[in-house]
């Protein structure tokens, strides 16, 4: 899988892909032609490589649906059901591509069911935990000011770590209070607004990094770009200082649920977070609904009436 274009692959082979390796090359060429993100390309290569290790570089015509079922069983056993489910999505697209291109007569994945992965439990941070997290940042230092900005942006805007790390100064609109996300998930762009707290912190931070020539918004103490991996470590470290298990994605979850609890609507939240469907947004709605249920138990108008209940007395129907 060396990233050949579909045209070059056809010219080189002079025929449709015959082996599993050639088919993988053809699929990856199509992924590159569709301008998928580097992360998606890297993940697809890993998954297809694992499939070839399991099956071997066999003739494509000899691959059976039963072989693919065995692969997912092995993957779920060796890793987890969640990993097997992620592998399923890629391999299904792979064999759909082969069928659509006429390389295979049928889609071998049509008879393979997706491994059922457990739904992860989302427990957003409380207001007290968020305040404790932010309190760890001493804004008298550059790194403290920067880390507070990172936390506030993640909490207020729900950006992914990769999106925040990729922000440049040109992507920040102070007057309009907007961030331009140029390459979100699926390489889609969107504009994300931010509030007054982020605006105030941005102005203080930008004043301190005034002489830095690095175009990226988030930089280290030496004025160098902070990538998504380092950004995640910063958030984890701040969580440890506050005695909280925290990640960048947990802050994204916290932002989403807080937005809905404050009265925001699901469709706007979907656009803000850059979700292509409402599936994940619905999960956030369920969390917000649970919150409403808990609050209703505490403040139920009928339950607070003195004469609303039967006081445990046995009454005869009339």
Q: Where are the domains of the chain?
A: 6-111, 127-299
CB 103 within 8 A of CB 16: yes
d(CA 282, CA 298): 25
Q: CA distances (Å), 10 to each of 23, 36, 73, 78, 134, in order?
A: 11, 21, 34, 36, 56
What is the mean predicted confidence (pLDDT) over 247-251?
92
Flag whether pLDDT at 285 surpasses 70.
no
**The dihedral of CA 191, 192, 197, 203: what is its sign?**
negative
Flag whether pLDDT at 125 surpasses 50.
yes
Tell me, rounded to whole angstroms, the distance of Cα 231 from its chain centroid: 15
d(CA 71, CA 198): 48
Give 217: exposed, middle or buried? Use CB within 10 Å, 0-12, 13-18, 19+.
Answer: buried
Q: Which residues are catalytic?
A: 160, 185, 249, 252, 275, 284
CATH of domain 127-299: 1.10.443.10
269 or 297, greater pLDDT: 269
Count of other CB atoms within 10 angstroms of residue 133: 24
Percent of the chain with pLDDT over 70: 81
Percent of the chain with pLDDT over 90: 51
Q: What is the 3-state secondary structure of the chain? A: CCCCCHHHHHHHHCCCCCEHHHHHHHHHHHHHHCCCCHHHHHHHHHHHHHHHHHHCCCEHHHCCHHHHHHHHHHHHHHCCHHHHHHHHHHHHHHHHHHHHCCCCCCCHHHHCCCCCCCCCCCCCCCHHHHHHHHHCCCCCCHHHHHHHHHHHHHHHHCCCHHHHHHCEHHHEECCCCEEEECCCHHHCCEEEECCHHHHHHHHHHHHHCCCCCCCECCECCCCCECCHHHHHHHHHHHHHHHCCCCCHHHHHHHHHHHHHHCCCCHHHHHHHHCCCCCHHHHHHHHHHHHHHHHHHHHHCCCCCCCCCCCCCCCCCCC
CATH of domain 6-111: 1.10.150.130
Report the predicted TM-score, pTM, of the whole model to 2 decimal places. 0.69
**The dihedral of CA 123, 125, 129, 133: what is its sign?**
positive
What is the mean predicted confidence (pLDDT) over 173-181?
94
pLDDT tens profile 192-235: 999 999 999 999 999 999 889 999 999 999 999 999 999 999 99
Helix 127-135 × helix 142-157 angle, to 10°: 160
d(CA 58, CA 45): 18
Flag whether pLDDT at 243 surpasses 80.
yes
Flag whether pLDDT at 81 surpasses 60.
yes
pLDDT tens profile 127-154: 999 999 999 999 999 999 999 999 999 9
């Amino acid at each position: 899988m060396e990233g050949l274009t579909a045209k070059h692959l056809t010219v080189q082979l002079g025929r449709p892909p015959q082996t599993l390796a050639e088919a993988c090359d053809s699929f990856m060429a199509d992924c590159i032609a569709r301008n998928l993100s580097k992360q998606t390309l890297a993940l697809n290569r890993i998954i297809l490589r694992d499939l070839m290790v399991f099956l071997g570089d066999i003739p494509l015509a000899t691959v059976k649906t039963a072989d693919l079922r065995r692969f997912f069983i092995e993957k779920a056993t060796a890793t987890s059901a969640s990993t097997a489910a992620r592998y399923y999505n890629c391999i299904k697209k792979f064999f759909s591509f082969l069928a659509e291109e006429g390389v295979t007569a049928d889609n071998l994945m049509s008879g393979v069911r997706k491994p059922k992965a457990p739904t992860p439990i989302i427990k957003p941070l409380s207001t007290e935990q968020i305040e404790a997290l932010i309190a760890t940042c001493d804004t008298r230092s550059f790194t403290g000011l920067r880390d507070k900005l990172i936390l506030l942006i993640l909490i207020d805007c729900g950006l992914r770590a990769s999106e925040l790390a990729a922000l440049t100064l040109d992507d920040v609109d102070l007057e309009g209070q907007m961030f331009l996300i140029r390459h979100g998930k699926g390489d889609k762009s969107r504009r994300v607004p931010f509030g007054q707290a982020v605006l105030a912190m941005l102005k203080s931070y930008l004043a301190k990094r005034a002489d830095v020539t690095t175009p990226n918004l988030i930089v280290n103490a030496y004025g160098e770009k902070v990538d998504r991996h380092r950004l995640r470590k910063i958030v984890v470290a701040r969580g440890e200082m506050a005695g909280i298990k925290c990640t960048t994605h947990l802050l994204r979850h916290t932002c989403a649920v807080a937005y809905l609890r404050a009265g925001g609507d699901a469709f706007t939240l979907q656009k803000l977070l850059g979700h292509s469907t409402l599936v994940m947004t619905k999960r956030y709605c369920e969390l917000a609904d649970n919150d409403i249920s808990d609050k209703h138990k505490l403040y139920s108008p009928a339950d607070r009436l003195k004469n609303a209940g039967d006081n445990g007395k046995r009454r005869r129907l009339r």
